[in-house]
Amino acid sequence: MRLNTSLLIGFSAAVLGFMKRPSTCPRTPQDATRYDAKLPNLFVFASGRPVNTVADFQCRQREVSELFQTLELGIKPGRPNAVHGSLSGGNLTVTVSVHGKSISFTPTVSYPPNGVAPYPAVIAFGALTIPAPSGVVIITYNNDEIAAQQNQSSRGQGKFFELYPNLKVNGAMTAWAWGVSRILDALESMPDTNIDSKKVAVTGCSRDGKGALFAGALESRIALTIPQESGSGGTACWRLSDYENHNGTTQTASEIVQENVWFATQFDEFANNTVDTLPFDHHMLAGLVAPRGLLVIDNIGYEWLGPWSSFGCMKTARRIYQAVGAPDHLGYSMSPSHLHCSFPSYKLPQLQVFVDKFLFDKASDTDFFMPAGYITFDNAQWVDWSTPNLF
């Protein structure tokens, strides 16, 4: 089992040639897996070298991204040579060509009735489930056509796999994040759209909230990431969801790989009982977004989503934001039970301050992790590392 993983890392890095790192970044050992019952430490490279500076932190983010892709998600291919965008009647057609094959997909674009060009934008996975912020373009992205997510039979189905048939082992999450990157490529080449490609947020709820989080983690051009009720496989941590689960009350990695094709086939071996050998957990996924904006919207009403796990995972992620001097760039909002994917109006000010800061460059107070004392999370039980000061 270990051997397969090592081979996979070697194959992925060598053959696909992704992640060209600056020479100062330490090399990742071939087998980076190790037993860790607690939430792993982002501030030590897989080689054992500590992370001491912001430059180290950026190297470590690349390493962690590489490990997520290798062990959990599947490889996200880099920018293709040919990406073309055209906008007509509210449809943004994005055409991507790779090795003589082409696909097109068509997110819809809705301009705000008010506001000032160039407009920021929100990319909504599936459909928008947060209130449309004022002055912002809404881009609705049909992620399911890029990679299907019906059930187990969706493996390798969708437009991404038409271009990359040798990546059919990949999970849908990587393919969706790749699609978001291509939307940004297209927008960058289309100044006439009056959409500011440097001020783009991504959001989605539930399974699409997991997708939004991965898009923000794997694409550093995203300015603001808003996962809503994403649950296990999103803002929850695998280790914590296993702990929270009581006879099937909470979704775990071992369940999730049976249910759908969100993750790569190589994740199965970890999901089935060895999540504690993963050299990361999802606090480190949020750490890939740092120091960019991350607003996590949760709902305590569904034990299946692992609300305690998500709370503890994001509380730990906030230490990562703290280390780079931006704890207030990760906002967390848990609410009492309400309908899944509905947005309680009392959360509007929380959304607005994040939109103001990250899409409009306006000073705003985004320093909240709430409600305080609502759930308790024992740091000492789950975290055995301290938070360095890297800035």
Enzyme catalytic residues: 206, 340
Contact string 251-280 vs ligand MCU (x = CB under 6 A): x-------x---------------------
CB of 275 to ligand MCU, least distance (A): 16
* Cα–Cα distance for residue pair 28/70, rounded to 1 Å: 12
Q: Should residue 282 be labelled a site residue for ligand MCU when binding is judged by CB under 6 A?
A: no
71, 255, 320, 44 alpha-carbon torsion, rounded to 10°: -40
Select 151 or 381, whichever has its Cβ closest to ligand MCU: 151
CB of 125 to ligand MCU, least distance (A): 11
Select 233 or 327, whichever has its Cβ closest to ligand MCU: 233
* Cα–Cα distance for residue pair 140/82, rounded to 1 Å: 22
CB of 176 to ligand MCU, least distance (A): 13
Question: How many residues in the chain?
Answer: 391
Contact string 109-128 vs ligand MCU (x = CB under 6 A): --------------------
Residue 71 dihedral angles phi and psi, to the nearest 5°: -100, -25
Q: Should residue 338 be labelled a site residue for ligand MCU when binding is judged by CB under 6 A?
A: no
DSSP per-residue letters across 96-163 = EEETTEEEEE--EEE--SS--SSEEEEEEESS--SPPPTT-EEEEE-HHHHS--SSGGGTT-SHHHHH
CB of 297 to ligand MCU, least distance (A): 12
Considering only residues 60, 76, 182, 207, which one is a binding residue for ligand MCU as defined by CB under 6 A?
A: 207
Chain centroid to CA 148 = 18
Of residues 237, 188, 229, the one with CA closest to residue 212: 229
Q: Should residue 231 be labelled a site residue for ligand MCU when binding is judged by CB under 6 A?
A: yes
CB of 262 to ligand MCU, least distance (A): 8
CB of 330 to ligand MCU, least distance (A): 20
Site for ligand MCU in 13-72 (CB under 6 A): none
Alpha-carbon distances, residue 27 vs 37, 68, 276, 315, 370 (angstroms): 24, 16, 23, 29, 39
Select 259 or 367, whichever has its Cβ closest to ligand MCU: 259
Site for ligand MCU in 289-318 (CB under 6 A): 305
CB 243 within 8 A of CB 378: no
Considering only residues 70, 143, 170, 206, which one is a binding residue for ligand MCU as defined by CB under 6 A?
A: 206
Of residues 221, 186, 218, the one with CA closest to residue 201: 221
Which chain residues interact with ligand MCU by CB under 6 A?
Answer: 206-207, 231, 233, 251, 259, 305
